[in-house]
Amino acid sequence: MELEIPEPLKTEHSELHKELVDATHEGGRVGEAAKEVARLLHPHFIREEEFALPPLGLLAALAKGTLVPEMADVLALTDRLEADLPGMLAEHQQIVAALGELVAAAKAENKPKYVDFAEKLILHARTEEEVLYPAALIVGRYIRLSLGK
Q: Where are the domains of the chain?
A: 7-147
pLDDT at 40: 97
d(CA 27, CA 7): 33
Helix axes 112-127, 28-47, angle to 10 degrees: 20
Residue 50: pLDDT over 90: yes
Q: What number is the average pLDDT over the span 21-25?
A: 97
Residue 95: pLDDT over 90: yes
pLDDT in tens, 54-94: 999 999 999 999 999 999 999 999 999 999 999 999 999 99
